[in-house]
A and B are shown apart, each in its own frame.
Chain A
Amino acid sequence: MAISNPTIVRSAAKSSSTAPLIEVHGVRKTYQLGETEVHALRGVSVSIAAGDFVAIMGASGSGKSTFMNILGCLDKPTAGQYLLEGIDVSGLTKKDLARIRNQKIGFVFQSFNLLGRTTALENTELPMLYSRVSKKERESRAREALALVGLADRAEHFPAQLSGGQQQRVAIARALANQPSLLLADEPTGNLDSRTAVEIMDIFQRLNAKGLTIVLVTHEPDIAQFAKREIVFRDGHIKRDDVLPSPQVASDVLKTLPTIED
């Protein structure tokens, strides 16, 4: 698939600060479940530079989802500090957090979460509905984002008319619509067959190559192999944090996989 028109991806080189995009210091998260306290995160510190591509691994209950929710500003840490682009997010109001999610973060989910009976184009426009973008610009930016994921010709299709891979690509286009500095993907390939999964990873790699920072949660080691860095969670701690010396290149892997006719 052709990836064209790269202007929509905010280049890391243009980022004003040299500080890491994400800085997390001693973050804890405790849930109160009835009488018992559940320690989802027990002091996590990590720093992610702009332009990185991080895969977060771990068994269920390891705290990786909680960590993702905190990175995505959907949840606040019980203790510790989270700086996103140098801004301490832990002290912000709900309204400010919504603004940060809208402007700085793009979400991709395992189950796509597209709105039914709404075209790919309108799904892509969704984040822009919540920022001051004129109708005309919304549409042109959404078309641009769809072109970026190779769906320029599917803009008027409804989710039900698209394959799983295509739906996830719409979801990626939606995540890119507001030109975020961080793309958070929560098991984005979990509902896809292996070839389509690699296709999605190909898109991520290309976006990353253009400077987009990506944090990806997965429990599939095959998928984590496409990232530049792998962080493994266990029992609310970071167990391992490795830079992968030679990540797999998705476009090369695709050549070895049999093509499935649509």
Chain B
Amino acid sequence: MELSAAFLLAIRALARNKLRSSLTMLGIIIGVGAVIAVVGIGQGAAAKAQEQLAALGANMLFVGSGSVNRYGLNVGSGQTKSLILGDARAIARECPSVSRAAPGTGTGQQVVYGNQNWATQINGTEPQYFEVRNWPFASGTSFGEDDVSQAATVAVLGDTVRKYLFGSSNPIGATIRIGTLPFKVVGVLAPKGTSPGSGQDQDDVIFAPLTTVQKKLLGQDWIRWIMVSAVSRDASYIAQRQIESLLRDRHKIRPGDPDDFVVRNLADVADAAAEQGSVMTILLTIVASIALLVGGIGIMNIMLVSVTERTREIGLRLAVGATEEDVRKQFLIEAMFLGLIGGGFGIAFGIVSSLVVSRALEWPILIPPYVVVVAPLFAIAIGTIFGFYPAKKASELNPIEALRYE
């Protein structure tokens, strides 16, 4: 039989049982849709996590004093006095894999501007901090080296603080009060979003010169953390070991004794997040594939019913000269069509549902083009594989018995 005639025959056979055909396709639609949605949402989430990690800082390492919260960026809790400014200078100077090091300390304070007030984190640091963090300015500039050496009362605002204190008006040049001290706003940072490590709002922060915060807000001369950037991402692990051995040396810690500092490599966080994401994607893909498999079993089931129902038709076709191959082809094409049409609708369903999810969760979606090609091919393959047995069964019918079948 010509292929065009066989295709027409298959379409007509499927059209004859519209409800049944569409229910059978529904299994494939849900399967393909689920695969596309899962991959789309998974890839989108992975891309977003990568973006967030990149925003966190270039090849960044975090050095904290003694008891620092394990989740790295929660820098407020270092209560020991083990880290000093000299450590930061030594790291920058002596570790070959380190490109920059920014010392810092911090305190929580109430901030007031006009009739607005806001409780936030005040971090004291040095200008290179913004380079380490890869953090651009939305307006204004950083405080300078002079501001640090003179302990000037100048401040750089995070985007969240700006929003709460200034709303839509321009904060540059305005004077805010931190605790009891007036500070002049010199810059506003671009929004950075939540931290992928801790989920903390990174924009809910004010930066001031290190010395200002140490002397005028805290009355301390030690530092709580050092933000370090390695020369490259691969170098960050070497940099971590260099920092560890340097600090143990400087702090005169004997071999075997525990560190009085913590070094956290953000590449670790990135790797952990990526791994978590890919494990999730694999699990969801397995679930979606199971859905697709169940859809395939649905095709097989309905094709078997169809073969039984059409036994006489098959007998007749064999009697008037259809070869086994003709009959097999006829049923295979029907099963393939179920897969193909189901796959087509499945793509649409997958794209629509991932768009809905992305709207609802404010997650980006990223549907790789290969999925749109592979998923329906997979659906056709499933139709063919699961249609094969019923088609074989049909083609092997004995025409004499098939014609007598009631």
How far apart are the CA atoms of A127 and B323 in the complex, in Å? 11
Return chain A residues, CB-CB under 8 Å to B9. Answer: 129
Which residues of the other chain, B, contact A130 by a CB distance below 8 angstroms? 1, 317, 320-323, 326
Contact A95 B323, beta carbon cutoff 8 Å: yes
Number of B residues, CB within 8 Å of A: 22
The yes or no answer to B403 lying at the interface (CB within 8 A) is yes
Interface string of A98-136 (1 = CB under 8 A from B): 110111000101000101010000000011011100010
Interface size class of A (residues with CB under 8 A): 20 to 34
Contact assessment for B321 and A117 in the assembled complex, using a CB-CB cutoff below 8 Å: no
Complex Cα distance, B154 from A90, in Å, reads 105
**8 A Cβ contacts from B298-327 to A:** 312-313, 315-326
Asked whether B181 is an interface residue with its Cβ less than 8 Å from the other chain, the reply is no
Contact A107 B326 (CB under 8 A): no
Contact status B1-A113, CB under 8 Å: no
Stretch in A67-75, A141-149, A157-165, A194-202 touching the partner = A67-75
Residues in A neighbouring B403, C-beta threshold 8 A = 109, 113
| Interface assignment of B400: CB less than 8 Å from any CB of chain A | yes
Docked complex Cα distance between A115 and B312 (Å): 9
Cβ-based interface call for B16 (8 A): yes
Question: Of residues 31 to 61 in A, which have CB atoms within 8 Å of B's CB atoms?
Answer: none
Residue contact A126 to B399, C-beta cutoff 8 Å: no
Chain B CB within 8 A of A240 CB: no
CA distance A101 to B317 in the complex (A): 10
Check A101 against B320 for contact (C-beta < 8 Å).
Answer: yes
C-alpha gap A35/B135 in the complex (Å)? 89
Contact A107 B324 (CB under 8 A): no
Residues 313-354 of chain B, each 1 if its beta carbon lies under 8 Å from chain A, else 0: 101111111111110000000000000000000000000000
A25 at the interface (CB under 8 A from B): no
Q: CB distance B321 to A72 under 8 Å?
A: no
Q: Give the residues in chain B near A99, CB-CB below 8 Å.
A: 321, 323
A135 proximity list for chain B (CB < 8 A)? 5
Shortest Cβ distance from A113 into B: residue: B316
Chain A hits for B318, CB < 8 A: 74, 98, 101
Please report B residues at the A interface, Cβ cutoff 8 Å.
Answer: 1-2, 5, 9, 16, 312-313, 315-326, 399-400, 403
- Identify 11 new A-B residue pairs, CB closer than 8 A, beyond the known A94-B323, A130-B322: A74-B400, A101-B318, A102-B321, A115-B316, A117-B16, A126-B317, A126-B320, A130-B317, A130-B323, A130-B326, A178-B321
A residues lining the B interface (CB < 8 Å): 69, 72, 74-75, 94-95, 98-99, 101-103, 107, 109, 113, 115, 117, 126-127, 129-131, 135, 174, 178
- 18 A-B residue pairings within 8 Å (CB atoms): A95-B324, A98-B321, A98-B323, A103-B321, A107-B319, A107-B320, A109-B403, A113-B316, A117-B16, A126-B317, A126-B320, A127-B320, A129-B9, A130-B317, A130-B322, A130-B323, A131-B321, A178-B321
